[in-house]
């Protein structure tokens, strides 16, 4: 863990260790607290009380800073103040609602036609000398993201020992909140895995990465994004770049997970399945901590496919929780 230098260093270290001990990765938050530590050391040297002045100075919105970014800066410092208070000392907790409200992020959902075009390009991925298995990895990797709705890190950090090739079951260990889970592969995806295994892993060991990248290491986030952007361009799918709050987001690698959930619900609704029974299944499969994370996709499904709205209302009635379209925390980005 990085060494902190301000008079809040012991508290910051204690908070991070506490969060990580109960399952939070708390990595991005640790980075924010590191910047807060430098801020205090620079502007408030010698002060060991997290005062109202320090808190409000830190929470001052910067030029062109998005409200969600500001909220991200404030939240760990509020948690730090609570931690300090729990140790029996004084600290000022920034009040709720200090950040201006902003519209909810709207994730990009791939259409059926866009998926076909993307996978045509993914399947045409060519051999690369620097990453010799790239043309084998990409078709299976991106199919896994869409067909199983995995988070990017859950997929790229798979090891050989995590994949039960005989039964078509994968064990996810690099998950949100560290909640390990197992998911079955579809019959068709299982066949892709078997072929991939024969082409890539004849002599692999249990601790080898299932999707090897450069020099056998796992694919990086930036490399995955770079390949995704290339496939989008080849498939003639535009990428507008950063979008404003409330607008439909640009297509990202995480869009495959969003699309999986929406398409899954669309299929279930049209098949007449009892969603009250099946939604908990989807929640468990996707590794959502709360039901609201899964229920959010119901709203996306009805927005994108109005023809099923009547079916959905008849099936679920008023059990769908209302969505607050303001002051989003961006949770659906990481779901």
Report pLDDT digits (tens) over 128-151.
888 899 999 999 999 999 999 999
CA atoms within 13 A on the CB side of 214: 6
CA quadruple 305, 311, 313, 319: dihedral, nearest 10: -90
Checking 235-242 for CB contacts under 8 A at 24+ apart, the result is: 235/114, 235/117, 235/118, 235/120, 235/121, 236/117, 237/114, 237/117, 237/118
Greatest distance between any 2 Cα atoms in the chain: 66
State the pLDDT at residue 293.
77
Q: Which token pair is 16? A: 């991070």
**What is residue 22's predicted lDDT score, i.e. its pLDDT?**
84
Question: What pLDDT is stored for residue 181 in this prediction?
Answer: 92
Residues 141/125, Cβ–Cβ less than 8 Å: no
Q: In whole angstroms, what is the distance from residue 186 CA to residue 284 CA? A: 17
What's the confidence (pLDDT) of residue 1?
61
Q: Is 279 helix (H, G, I), strand (E, B) or coil?
A: helix
pLDDT value, residue 242? 61
Closest to 118 measured CA to CA, from 220, 212, 238, 211? 238
Question: What pLDDT is stored for residue 319 in this prediction?
Answer: 43
Check residue 103 and give its pLDDT: 61
Residue 226 has a pLDDT of 93
Q: What is the pLDDT of residue 323?
A: 41
> For residue 110, what pLDDT is reported?
94
Q: pTM for this one?
A: 0.72
Q: Which residues in the chain come in under a pLDDT of 50?
A: 317-333
In angstroms, what CA-CA distances link 242 with 28, 64, 255?
20, 14, 14
């Amino acid at each position: 863990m990085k060494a902190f230098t301000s008079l809040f260093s012991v508290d910051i270290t204690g908070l991070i260790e506490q969060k990580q001990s109960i399952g939070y990765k708390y990595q991005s938050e640790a980075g924010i607290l590191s910047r807060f530590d430098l801020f205090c050391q620079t502007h408030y040297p010698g002060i060991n009380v997290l005062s109202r002045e320090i808190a409000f100075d830190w929470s001052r919105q910067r030029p062109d800073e998005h409200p969600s970014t500001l909220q991200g800066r404030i939240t760990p410092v509020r948690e730090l103040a609570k931690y300090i208070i729990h140790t029996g000392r004084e600290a000022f907790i920034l009040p709720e609602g200090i950040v201006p409200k902003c519209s909810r992020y709207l994730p990009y959902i791939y259409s059926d036609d866009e998926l076909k075009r993307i996978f045509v390009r993914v399947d045409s991925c060519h051999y690369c000398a620097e990453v010799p298995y790239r043309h084998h990895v990409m078709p299976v990797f991106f199919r896994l993201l869409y067909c199983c709705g995995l988070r990017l890190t859950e997929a790229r950090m798979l090891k050989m020992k995590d994949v039960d090739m005989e039964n078509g079951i994968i064990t996810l260990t690099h998950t949100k909140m560290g909640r390990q889970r197992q998911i079955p592969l579809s019959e068709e995806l299982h066949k892709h895995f078997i072929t991939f295994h024969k082409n890539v892993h004849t002599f692999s060991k249990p601790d080898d990465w299932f999707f090897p990248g450069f020099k056998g290491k796992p694919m990086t986030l930036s490399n995955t994004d770079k390949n995704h952007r290339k496939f989008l361009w080849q498939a003639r799918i535009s990428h507008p770049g950063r979008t404003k709050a409330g607008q439909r987001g640009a297509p990202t690698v995480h869009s495959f997970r969003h699309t999986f959930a929406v398409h899954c619900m669309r299929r279930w609704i049209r098949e007449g399945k009892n969603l009250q029974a099946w939604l908990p299944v989807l929640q468990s499969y996707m590794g959502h901590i709360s039901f609201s994370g899964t229920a959010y996709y119901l709203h996306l499904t009805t927005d994108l496919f109005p023809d099923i709205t009547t079916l959905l209302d008849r099936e679920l009635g008023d059990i769908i929780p209302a969505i607050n379209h303001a002051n989003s925390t961006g949770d659906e980005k990481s779901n």
